[in-house]
Structure 1
């Protein structure tokens, strides 16, 4: 499993880990177990930076540095997927043309709008989080989003065989998702609070809606849709924390 952990860290983050690991289907499948925990690490690093900057310059400065840190630590990997998915899905074209647009390295109008709204929404929501829930919200929003994407890899159809998304889904990671879900729920309840299940439920709901949209539009999911799912589910989780923070 150690190769799976290293693969997850190398794929999801830009943390320098100079240990060679083959990105074959076996290692990628194992890596999915660690996705939510790597997500929590990403959130912890970004949240810690935000807390420090919050102390120096206030809530808005802290929120801005959380958003910036999320981009730096992940290398903007998922934001790129959100941009490509938005360009394709909102192009009002047929399936084959949408997939071509999503594969195009150039960014269109809808892609730019999606990225701007993604960063802006995260900034606004994080800046309104209470200090008592600030770090748990950032940590768990990142973890929740990456747990949902493992569900998609495990149970949905891939729309573009041979792409990056199919490399994960073809590895049949269902058992790793099930085991990861159980352990993640245990960590969530016992290390945090059972009330934090609400943002997780909101993230799963959002992920389900994204899946329905993807099936209707391109007949399945791709690696870009996985990235878009992570970004959207982070926002939904953070929004859920903001809404219920008064009684969590």
Structure 2
């Protein structure tokens, strides 16, 4: 029952999907990080459904604009997640661009106002994601060939949950500190490791070098996440976690486009 309540809390926190109201306590939150990747699975499911629908529309309207399809594909993760990770991405861009002391950077993360570098980072992110998505939709759509790309929505959240259970926490307050305090850290780390290994093996087995490239990219960004968070903030926060998820996903999209779409 606690696992089911943790699922509800994960979706109510990390998605825009309406969920029943559940009390926030250590018992209900103990498996919350374990269920966090399910939000990524839902995003992947919506993306797959959209591709199937796009295939159907393309069959009816031969001149259907790939620009429109790419735009919708770009917005799906934001609509499902409610933009929570994008908010952290923007705050982290502001803090990193300040080149200030660690204490000042942590203050910037808490500031509710968006600075110039947050806006610039957001614009560049969406522009890059849209252009990369456009390359995907310029080709004939095949759902199976896109499955490796969709898996990244889960992998990014598996790694993020693993970080909460293993990485140092920058502050003694905030969401990440609350999650880390409530979660069963050893179990969460093992759970995330199991699913990461399983998904990675499936990607490599079925998609060969593409699978290897996507897994290697995700792990490389994960290592970068650790270095950036510890060096600049003394550990991870909710904002840096959002920054990691966004960077991991767009990096995987770029690798996918280079290996599959660019010829």
| CA displacement at 1:30 relative to structure 2 | 0.4
How is 1:137-216 mapped onto 2 (pairs within 5 angstroms)?
137-170=148-181, 171-187=183-199, 189-190=201-202, 193=206, 195=208, 196-216=211-231
Q: Could you tell me how far apart the structure 2 residues matched to 1:6 and 1:141 are? A: 22
Q: Could you tell me how far apart the structure 1 residues matched to 2:217 and 2:75 are? A: 24
> CA 1:244–1:114 in structure 2 vs 1: closer, same or farther (change >3 Å)?
same
| CA displacement at 1:172 relative to structure 2 | 4.1
The C-alpha deviation readout for 1:183-211, integer Å capped at 9, x for no partner, is: 35435545883633531331121021122
Q: Could you tell me how far apart the structure 2 residues matched to 1:58 and 1:173 are? A: 47
Match of residue 78 from structure 1:
85
Q: Could you tell me how far apart the structure 2 residues matched to 1:167 and 1:173 are? A: 12
Aligned length: 246
Q: Could you tell me how far apart the structure 2 residues matched to 1:240 and 1:177 are? A: 27
Which structure's CA Rg is the greater one? 2
| CA displacement at 1:107 relative to structure 2 | 0.3
| CA displacement at 1:143 relative to structure 2 | 1.0
| CA displacement at 1:161 relative to structure 2 | 1.1
Q: Could you tell me how far apart the structure 2 residues matched to 1:141 and 1:62 are? A: 20
Structure 2's unaligned 5+ residue stretches are 59-63
Q: In 2, are the aligned partners of 1:7 and 1:21 still within 8 Å (CA)?
A: yes
2:244 counterpart of 1:229 = yes
| Superposition TM-score, scaled by structure 1 size | 0.88
Q: In 2, are the aligned partners of 1:78 and 1:231 still within 8 Å (CA)?
A: yes
Report which stretch shifted further, 74-83 or 114-123. Answer: 114-123
Structure 1's unaligned 5+ residue stretches are none
> CA 1:119–1:3 in structure 2 vs 1: closer, same or farther (change >3 Å)?
same
Among 11, 15, 19, the alignment partner of 2:13 is: 11
Q: Could you tell me how far apart the structure 1 residues matched to 2:117 and 2:186 are? A: 33
Q: Could you tell me how far apart the structure 1 residues matched to 2:259 and 2:40 are? A: 22
Match of residue 96 from structure 1:
103
Q: Could you tell me how far apart the structure 1 residues matched to 2:215 and 2:25 are? A: 30
RMSD in angstroms over aligned alpha carbons?
A: 2.4
